[in-house]
Amino acid sequence: MSMQNLYFFCKNIKIYISTALILVTVVIDDQANADPPHRNADSVFVNPYIDEGARKPNLLDKVWWKFKYYMIQRPLVNDNFEYAVIPPEYVNPPERFNSGAVTWVGHATFLVQIDGLNILTDPVWSERVGLLNSRLGLQRQTAPGIPWEKLPPIDVVLISHNHYDHLDYPTVMQLEQEHQPVFFVPLGLSDLLTGWGVTHTIEKDWWEGDSINGVKFIAVPAQHQSRRAIHDHNTTLWSGWVIEASNHTLYFAGDTGYFPGFKKISKRLGPIDLAMMPIGAYDPEWYNALYHVNPAEALQAFIDLDARYFAAMHWGTFDQSEERLSDPPRELLRAARRMGVDQDRLWIFAFGEKRAIPSRLPEETITIQYDDKQ
Ligand SMILES: [Zn+2]
* Burial of 314 per CB tally in 10 Å (0-12, 13-18, 19+): buried
What is residue 37's DSSP assignment?
P
DSSP SS3 for 212: strand
Who has greater pLDDT, 37 or 369? 37
* Burial of 312 per CB tally in 10 Å (0-12, 13-18, 19+): buried
Q: How far is the CA of 178 from the centre of ligand 1 (A)?
A: 26
Q: What is the pLDDT of residue 1?
A: 53
Q: What is the pLDDT of residue 178?
A: 98
Q: How far is the CA of 158 from the centre of ligand 1 (A)?
A: 14
For residue range 92-130, list pLDDT tens digits in order: 999 999 889 999 999 999 999 999 999 999 999 999 998
Who has greater pLDDT, 248 or 6? 248
* Full DSSP string of 60-79: HHHHHHHHHIIIIIGGG---
Confidence of residue 374 (pLDDT cuts 50, 70, 90): very low
Q: Which of 212-226, 282-296, 332-346 has the lowest mean pLDDT?
A: 282-296
**pLDDT mean over 358-366:** 65
Q: How far is the CA of 155 from the centre of ligand 1 (A)?
A: 24
Q: How far is the CA of 22 from the centre of ligand 1 (A)?
A: 41
Whether residue 190 contacts residue 225, with contact meaning beta carbons closer than 8 Å, is answered with no
For residue range 135-177, list pLDDT tens digits in order: 778 899 999 999 999 999 999 999 999 999 999 999 999 999 9
- The structure's pTM equals 0.86
Q: How far is the CA of 27 from the centre of ligand 1 (A)?
A: 35
What are all long-range contacts of 34-38, with beta carbons under 8 Å and residues at least 24 apart?
A: 35/206, 35/207, 35/221, 35/261, 35/264, 38/206, 38/221, 38/237
Q: How far is the CA of 269 from the centre of ligand 1 (A)?
A: 24
Q: What is the pLDDT of residue 23?
A: 47
Q: How far is the CA of 40 from the centre of ligand 1 (A)?
A: 20
Q: How far is the CA of 219 from the centre of ligand 1 (A)?
A: 16
Beta-strand pair 128-130/346-347: unpaired
d(CA 294, CA 323): 10
Q: What is the pLDDT of residue 228?
A: 92
Q: What is the pLDDT of residue 82?
A: 87
Phi/psi for 104 (5° steps) reads -90, 125
- Kindly tell me if the per-residue pLDDT of 265 is higher than 90: yes
Q: What is the pLDDT of residue 283?
A: 82
**pLDDT mean over 343-352:** 96
Q: Which residues surround ligand 1, an ion (CB under 5 A)?
A: 163, 255
Beta-strand pair 346-347/354-356: unpaired
Q: How far is the CA of 107 from the centre of ligand 1 (A)?
A: 11
Class of the CATH domain delimited by 52-357: alpha beta
Q: How far is the CA of 167 from the centre of ligand 1 (A)?
A: 9
Q: What is the pLDDT of residue 24?
A: 47
Q: What is the pLDDT of residue 72?
A: 74
Indicate the average pLDDT of the chain: 88
Q: How far is the CA of 82 from the centre of ligand 1 (A)?
A: 26
Of 208, 167, 174, 171, which is closest to residue 189 (Cα–Cα)? Answer: 167
Preceding peptide of 271 cis, ω within 30°: yes
Q: How far is the CA of 98 from the centre of ligand 1 (A)?
A: 31
Share of the chain above pLDDT 90, in %: 66
What is residue 357's DSSP assignment?
P
Q: How far is the CA of 31 from the centre of ligand 1 (A)?
A: 29
d(CA 23, CA 37): 24
- Kindly tell me if the per-residue pLDDT of 358 is higher than 70: yes
Q: How far is the CA of 238 from the centre of ligand 1 (A)?
A: 9
Q: How far is the CA of 7 from the centre of ligand 1 (A)?
A: 64
Q: How far is the CA of 225 from the centre of ligand 1 (A)?
A: 7
Q: How far is the CA of 148 from the centre of ligand 1 (A)?
A: 23
Preceding peptide of 284 cis, ω within 30°: yes
For residue range 8-58, list pLDDT tens digits in order: 555 566 556 555 554 444 444 444 556 778 988 888 999 998 877 767 777
Q: What is the pLDDT of residue 91?
A: 96
Share of the chain above pLDDT 70, in %: 86
Of 98, 110, 355, which is closest to residue 245 (Cα–Cα)? Answer: 98
Q: Residue 373, by phi and psi: left (phi above 0), alpha (psi -120 to 50) or beta?
A: alpha
- Kindly tell me if the per-residue pLDDT of 366 is higher than 80: no
CB atoms within 10 A of CB 215: 21
- Cα separation values, 172 from 36, 113, 126, 199, Å: 32, 19, 10, 11
- Kindly tell me if the per-residue pLDDT of 372 is higher than 60: no
- Kindly tell me if the per-residue pLDDT of 371 is higher than 70: no
Q: How far is the CA of 364 from the centre of ligand 1 (A)?
A: 43
Q: How far is the CA of 281 from the centre of ligand 1 (A)?
A: 10
**pLDDT mean over 331-357:** 96
Strands (E), 253-358: 274-278, 309-313, 346-347, 354-356
